[in-house]
Chains A and B, each alone.
Chain A
Amino acid sequence: MLGRAVSDAGLLAGVLADPERAAALDAGSWAAVMAVARAEQLAGTLAHRLAGLPVPEPVARWLADAREAAEQARRTALWEAEMVRRALAPLGCRTVLLKGTAYVAAGLSAGQGRQIGDCDILVPREALPAVEAALIGAGWEWAKPDAYDNAYYRRWMHELPPLIHEGRDRMVDVHHTILPPTARITPDAEALIADAVPLGDGLHVLSPADRIIHAAAHLFADGDLSGGLRNLWDIRCLLDDGAAALEVRAAQHGLGREVTRAMRLAHRVFGAAVPDAYRQARASDAPYLRRLLARDGWGRATRRGTRLGFYVRSHWLRMPPALLARHLWIKWRRGPA
């Protein structure tokens, strides 16, 4: 066993994995499941999973609202992608949608009920200056007009500094690869773009295997796992859709460890269909599990120590020590943003 991992977030995970379990929830458990789902951005997902099942009347109303909010998010995300497409069409460079926008554009199960924030796209590195100019010409502007941030992004990050559209208030993140160049892992960005799948309107999405690899890299090799439960749910859905030669492809990108961890945890938390080899969790998975489920029935973040550990780790992953020290020093001097 992996130690005590039952929490209110665990209750939500159980219902998502097996919607029939909802039948056993009492009023207090429903309140907890709803609050955790809100806090973890999984309300729309929960609503889709429970569609058609008998639930108490107030829950049914809440789920209907969540479904509608997700439908609105889907529409907005698709429209933003269309605006990006129109802006970049004259360039003729391959534009690959990533994350939530890609899931809804390709009609994947991971997109059902999903909240979608920014519009993430991947373009060839050499196309970056033209893409940047085209977006700015079409009404996007820098979200952070700050010299340090700009220099930092351009030098050390895998994306342009975020751009926001002045009329629609929506952010676009332009990536040229899926992990920062400073990270110790260097995925094969050219292969990601070359093997992307066309959607028919000129836009692309990653190949099935690369979608899983990107989601796993994002979850385990990049951030501090905040919002991680939602990301792990994405992975569970993507695994269900199937991907040929996933392990070989993951190894090609140097992300074999992250992808196998993703498979083990997606199985453990959400009952994802994975090969037998990944049905047994490892001792090293335990802290991830603790972090992913660190939420109580009032929607509060719990397990402060674990959270702090992953926060420090996220910086460690992104940067060599000397650069990290410099980054933290500059951030600290500037004070909290």
Chain B
Amino acid sequence: MRYRFGVRVGPVSFRVGSDRRAPVAQLRDLYAGYPAPEVGIADHTVRLEAPRPWRRWLRPQVRVAGDFELPGAVPLPARHALLAAEMAMNLQMALGHRRHLLLHAATVEQGGRALVMTGESGAGKSTLAALLAGAGWRLLGDEFALIAPDTGLAHAFPRPVSLKNESVAAVRTAWPDARFGPELVGTPKGTIRHLVAPADSVARMDEPARPALIVFPRFGVAPDIRPVPPAEAFVRLTEASTNYVALGERGFAALTRLVREVPAVALDYPDGATGMAAVERCWAAL
């Protein structure tokens, strides 16, 4: 492909090929401080290509493609190619990654111990993670928690944090020197902006942490905290995992160990500040 980009994020590396220049330039900017794939060979291939030849010029579009693809995915307008690239990388992880148990979760670290926040899109885990990172926690990642089956450790996968709509303003207020990618207006999820991962989390991307607390956050509701028993946590986490079944016996061992060793709470919160305070309280009570 004409324009190419390679990057390593923690234990995973990608090569991205594009028939347009702009998305590759944007990726270089967002991933400025990241290493290249080890010896130049990436785990996953991502392609940003026009769904039909004329779509390179006429109302240009870009399609999410690569080693693993979802049939029926609708192309995005070319101005959202950066979003397509991020989605394509997520998809390669979700369908292709087997070295870790993947949980759709945001993870932050303090003192070598990890806080894993998982919930459906809209639960506010990315925003909470960004706010906590602004308050001095190390960001391990906002999209996937990577749990190593042999050690139970959470490995860092610090990609840029995808923030939606009003979250951008909230994070900017709490964290004035945060750096952002271009504003993507009118995506299927509204306005999206990528927060560049803090230099500290990129520099320490090869340093894993021991999971210490699992939180199931729910945004926009009256504050409440309740413990989640292991059986319920197990089911919720199989739902939050993109590769639990694919991992077979290793997945079973990793997930049963996680829910037996790590306490879990369901946390309802009305706004970011309250949520952060509640998380810090649960953490202090460990």
Residues of chain A having any CB pair with chain B under 8 Å: 27-28, 30-31, 34-35, 38-39, 56-59, 61-62, 65, 68-69, 72, 75, 298-300
Contacts and interface: CB of A to CB of B under 8 A. Distances in A.
A31 B15 contact: yes
Interface of A, secondary structure class, is: helix
Contacts of B66: 299
Contacts of B1: 298
Contacts of A300: 47, 49
B99 A61 contact: yes
A58 B38 contact: yes
27 contacts: A27-B39, A27-B40, A27-B41, A28-B40, A31-B40, A31-B42, A35-B45, A35-B67, A38-B45, A38-B67, A56-B39, A56-B41, A57-B38, A57-B39, A58-B13, A58-B37, A58-B39, A58-B43, A62-B43, A65-B96, A65-B97, A65-B98, A68-B98, A75-B248, A298-B45, A299-B66, A299-B67
A58 B246 CA distance: 21
Contact of B246 (A27, A38, A39, A69): A69
Interface in B14-68: 15, 17, 37-43, 45, 47, 49, 66-68
B148 to A, nearest CB: 13
A44 B96 CA distance: 13
A27 B38 CA distance: 10
B158 to A, nearest CB: 20
Contacts of B45: 31, 34-35, 38, 298-299
Given A61-B99, A65-B96, A298-B17, 18 more contacts: A27-B39, A38-B67, A38-B68, A39-B67, A56-B41, A57-B39, A58-B38, A58-B39, A59-B41, A62-B43, A65-B98, A68-B98, A72-B246, A72-B248, A75-B248, A298-B47, A299-B66, A299-B67
Contacts of A58: 13, 37-39, 41-43
Contact of B98 (A28, A56, A69): A69
A72 B247 CA distance: 8
Nearest to A296: B1
A34 B68 CA distance: 12
By Cβ-Cβ distance, the 3 closest A-B pairs, closest first, are A27-B40, A58-B41, A38-B67
Contacts of A68: 98
A46 to B, nearest CB: 13
B106 to A, nearest CB: 25
Interface in B64-82: 66-68
